Amino acid sequence: MADALRADGAEVVFVGGERAEAQLVPEAGYELRQIRVEGLSRTNPLKATRAALRALGGVATSVRLLGELRPDAVMGGGGYVAGTVGIAAVLRRIPLVLTEADSHLGISNRALARFARRVSLAFPIPGREGERYRVTGRPAPPPSTDRAAARARFGLEEGDVVVLVFGGSLGARSINTAAVQAFAAPSLDGVPLRVLHAAGERDLASLSAPGDHYDLRAYISEFGDALLASDLVVARAGGSVFEVAAHGRPAILIPYPHAAADHQTANARWMERHGAAVIVPDGELTAERLAREVAALLRDRPRLAAMAAASAELARPDAAREVAEELLAAARG
């Protein structure tokens, strides 16, 4: 999104917390202003009270910050940081545009939607229609296009069959454990196999690559190349489904069962309904089930190709530009 806005001549400043954005935003060449807030606990009253007090402080900080920056428009991407800045934008009467990456409107976006000039949706959401809402898809980085170069980056040969495994920024313990066991051998049901696995920092120390065929790491910074180099993706079903679709990859999706309003299951069903994915519920995930599902797809090359084509049909390559247009229109009044 920031790149699309900058290409149109806009100046972009991020406001964030202390998580991944603290590193990723400056590395991408953008200014980051940080505020201290945290998510609202739904199980611990003390933590919930602390988060509420910090949110009040975050709003006050955001009001001062917007007074200093004097932006022409504010874009909120959901989450607790975006919620406090969005409230500050409403208080200062600065045009607000919201984006929702999932098939469920999060708490911050639900609270702010009535004040927004536009709410850009990744998926159609029942009850969120009309002039205020626009389905744009989820903005994603431009896809990698050179498959040979992408494979060379990971030491893969042209004929290798490659499975990419990932679970999000923190990883996914159930997927990590099942994948290492399921793909322990260098072949699966007679099919030689190479595995790229981004496990996240949290679980990496407890995992071991079972052989030279298995590339296990915390993160894959060249994520587009990893998607393009793969033949099949095994993953959660968050907003990354749009990056999977942008690269036309078939997928086995294991939705995170505790996501708000179970939106990852809805995301996965969207891909499954269009023929691009197979769903394995997290509670049913075992190494044996995962190996069986992957082997069935790798043996059925026509089905795998049909799933890849269906995935590519779901891509929204112009999403970033469309949301940028909405934000610039709001800024111009």
pLDDT digits (tens, 9 = 90+) for 179-188: 999 999 999 9
pLDDT of 258 strictly over 70: yes
CA 146 to chain centre: 22
Q: Which two tokens stand for residue 317?
A: 């390559």
pLDDT of 169 strictly over 70: no
pLDDT of residue 89: 96
Provide the H-helix boundaries in the chain: 2-7, 21-27, 45-69, 80-91, 107-112, 147-153, 173-182, 201-204, 223-229, 241-246, 263-273, 287-299, 301-313, 319-332
Residue boundaries of the structural domains of the chain: 2-140+317-332, 147-313
pLDDT of 247 strictly over 90: yes
Cα–Cα distance list, 197 to 32, 82, 287 (Å) = 30, 31, 15
Contacts of 73 (CB under 8 A, 6+ apart): 94, 95, 96, 97, 327, 328, 330, 331
pLDDT of residue 40: 59
Using pLDDT thresholds of 50, 70 and 90, give the confidence band for residue 151: very high
Choices 3.30.70.20, 3.90.45.10, 3.40.50.2000, 3.40.50.2300: CATH for 147-313: 3.40.50.2000
Using pLDDT thresholds of 50, 70 and 90, give the confidence band for residue 62: very high
Q: Do domains 2-140+317-332 and 147-313 have the same CATH topology?
A: yes
Question: Phi/psi at 88 (nearest 5 deg)?
Answer: -60, -40
Q: Give me the helix-helix angle, 45-69 and 80-91, nearest 10°.
A: 50
pLDDT of residue 201: 86
The model's pLDDT over 124-133, given as tens digits with 9 standing for 90+, comes to 998 898 899 9
Give pTM, 2 decimals: 0.84
Mean pLDDT in residue range 315-324 = 94
What's the CATH fold of domain 2-140+317-332?
A: Rossmann fold (3.40.50)
The model's pLDDT over 68-108, given as tens digits with 9 standing for 90+, comes to 999 999 999 888 788 899 999 999 999 999 999 888 888 89
Mean pLDDT in residue range 254-273 = 91
191-192 and 187-188 as β-strands: parallel, antiparallel, unpaired? antiparallel
**Buried b / exposed e along 65-84 (16+ C-beta atoms within 10 A):** bbeeeebebbbbbbbbbbbb
Q: Which two tokens stand for residue 277?
A: 């994915």
Using pLDDT thresholds of 50, 70 and 90, give the confidence band for residue 121: very high
Contact 277, 253 (CB under 8 A): yes
